[in-house]
Amino acid sequence: MSTNEIGYKIYLFTCHFQLTKKTLTNVSSGPEKEKVLS
């Protein structure tokens, strides 16, 4: 595997992690919960 591939995988993982963290934060903050579940 080339360095570019490793960098790209890390980049994708980081973006996915940030997105997941944002979603979890929204879910945890009350009113957003209903939006996510509906």
DSSP-derived secondary structure for 6-23 = HHHHHHHHHHHHHHHHHH
Question: What is the model's pLDDT at position 5?
Answer: 94
More confident residue, 35 or 8: 8
pLDDT confidence bin for 26, thresholds 50/70/90: confident
What is this structure's pTM?
0.50
Q: 10 Å Cβ neighbour count for 16?
A: 10
Give the mean pLDDT of 8-37.
78
Tell the residue number behind the tokens 């360095």, with chain if given.
3
Question: What is the model's pLDDT at position 12?
Answer: 94
Tokens of 20: 């997941």
Give the mean pLDDT of 16-27.
84
- Find all residues with CB under 8 Å of 34, minimum gap 6, and list them: none
Query: Does residue 7 contact residue 13 with C-beta atoms inside 8 Å?
Result: no
